[in-house]
Amino acid sequence: MTDTKKSIHGEWSSRFAFILAATGSAVGLGNIWKFPYIAGENGGGAFVIVYLLCVVLIGIPIMMAETLLGRRSRQNPINTMKALAEEAGADKNWHYLGWMGVIAGFLILSYYSVIAGWASAYVFKDFTGSFFDADASEIKGLFDSFIASPVQLIFWHSLFMLATMVVVARGVNSGIEKAVRFLMPSLFVMLVLLVAYAMTTGSYDEGIEFLFMPDFSKLTGDSVLTAMGHAFFTLSLGMGAIMIYGSYLPKDVSISKTVFLIAGTDTVVALLAGIAIFPIVFASGQEPSAGPGLIFQTLPIAFGSMTGGWLFGLLFFVMLVFAALSSSISLIEPAVAWLVENKDMNRKQACIWSGSVTWLLGFGTIFSFNVWSEFKVFDRTIFQLLDYLTANLMLPIGGFCIAVFAGWIMTQQHTEQELNMPSPRNYQAWKILICYVAPAAVFLVFLNVIGVL
């Protein structure tokens, strides 16, 4: 592998462009929609601490590993695993890891797009004044009747998938970079303003206490797994998204600094969302464990009652849709890059193929909330099953394998050269995390869930 090698899809114009794109991938529905609702379902504080520990001890080292793998090979995740396994003289079966990632991306995007569709619909609902002066039960009624309608959900899901396909078809430099550039800062500011609103609800302390006061008796093996799975999900790890973005990263950029920045931003955004939402949950007499509808049942109350709430709500949901879009493009990019590199398609054809498959798969999630809501496998609806299978199983397994590959299969010389850390001490710390801490932690959590521990 030569130092001058570049991806055939092009390269980020700068380190900043990579940071924007990778942060765009990381920050999304996972932070604003999923984190608050799973924290609510799993009892709050203790869950949040486990999640934070997983980000630091497992997520950050694996994010560095994924980035360095991609940058070293400059290809899609499947070819990356093949090429790097060859370079290290290892088994060629490693490329199945790339395959699992591509499949996980499809499965995640199939439900991600449905939820992003909800956010898009809420832009429209805000616009038409649906939240104006509405109380908690009206807002909940609005949400319940919305998800009961397959036709509406299909419409918004289709629209969002189409938007994803159009952006991805335009390619790394023109499409992805531009889409992300102005979104992140705006979303951040809006969240800070929402936190300020939460302070006026009278239940701010209660919300903070729920989110940060750990009660470890509320932790179960499954909630620990969910917290760990979410660390992977929220950082976009374990399926090759960060790997493919790393493959467009110029050689001279410091991977470690960049990764710290991305993971830090992602975590702050999730915590801000939690701090904004739980006070509203308590002030309006709702349950933290309301499930996937949580933000749709709480935030509109704020928008309906605060001055300027109409415009604010409108902007907020628009930002949320864009945050979801900058994540969804990273879910489909590994598949698109593979189709382009290996199947001789152009980007447009590749987007149409992979987008259509995901779009169809999305119907499973749509029907989980209405016509098939009683259809359960392992006591879960299709949506819950997809979520569990991807976030709790495939991503941690993928991450585990990436850690083992970067720590044990690749030569020290190669990883050291890619990471190019300022001091050997930092490299050693990463090495310990990636060789021992991260894989062992994932392994122990799995053992715990299957009841061996």
> Which residues form the interface with ligand TRP (CB under 6 A)?
25-26, 28-31, 108, 233-234, 236, 239, 241, 327, 330-331, 395
Find the shortest distance in angstroms from Cβ 82 to ligand TRP.
Answer: 20
Q: Output 331 or 402, the one with its CB closest to ligand TRP.
A: 331
CB 141 within 8 A of CB 297: no
Find the shortest distance in angstroms from Cβ 205 to ligand TRP.
Answer: 28
Find the shortest distance in angstroms from Cβ 393 to ligand TRP.
Answer: 12
Find the shortest distance in angstroms from Cβ 355 to ligand TRP.
Answer: 15
Buried b (16+ CB within 10 A) or exposed e, 213-225: eeeeeebeeebbb
CA angle 109, 346, 111 (to 5 degrees): 5
Q: Output 28 or 61, the one with its CB closest to ligand TRP.
A: 28
Cα Rg of the chain (Å, integer): 21
What would the two tokens of residue 284 be? 């309006």
The total of other beta-carbon atoms located within 10 Å of residue 252's CB is 8
Q: Taking CB positions, which residue lies at the least distance from ligand TRP? A: 30
For 377-444, give the DSSP string: BTTB-HHHHHHIIIIIIIHHHHHHHHHHIIIIIS-HHHHHHHH--SSHHHHHHHHHIIIIIHHHHHHH
Find the shortest distance in angstroms from Cβ 326 to ligand TRP.
Answer: 9
CB 117 within 8 A of CB 151: no
Find the shortest distance in angstroms from Cβ 14 to ligand TRP.
Answer: 22
Q: Output 109 or 421, the one with its CB closest to ligand TRP.
A: 109
377 DSSP assignment? B
Find the shortest distance in angstroms from Cβ 381 to ligand TRP.
Answer: 20
What would the two tokens of residue 410 be? 């690749």
Find the shortest distance in angstroms from Cβ 23 to ligand TRP.
Answer: 10
Query: How far, in Å, CA of 414 to CA of 411, rounded?
Result: 5
Q: Output 29 or 85, the one with its CB closest to ligand TRP.
A: 29
Q: Output 361 or 395, the one with its CB closest to ligand TRP.
A: 395
Q: Output 277 or 421, the one with its CB closest to ligand TRP.
A: 277
What would the two tokens of residue 123 be? 């832009």
Query: How far, in Å, CA of 364 to CA of 345, rounded?
Result: 28
Q: For residue 234, what are the CA distances in angstroms to 159, 324, 355, 360?
A: 24, 12, 22, 24
Find the shortest distance in angstroms from Cβ 104 to ligand TRP.
Answer: 7
Q: Output 26 or 277, the one with its CB closest to ligand TRP.
A: 26
Find the shortest distance in angstroms from Cβ 418 to ligand TRP.
Answer: 21
Q: Which amino acid, 253? A: V
Q: Output 23 or 75, the one with its CB closest to ligand TRP.
A: 23
Q: How many CA atoms lie within 13 A of 340 on its CB side?
A: 24
Q: Output 43 or 396, the one with its CB closest to ligand TRP.
A: 396
User: With 0-12 CB in 10 A as exposed, 13-18 as middle and 19+ as buried, what is 363?
Assistant: middle
- Closest CA relative to residue 21, chosen from 239, 326, 414, 305: 326
450 DSSP assignment? T
Q: Output 63 or 410, the one with its CB closest to ligand TRP.
A: 63
Q: Which amino acid, 442? A: V
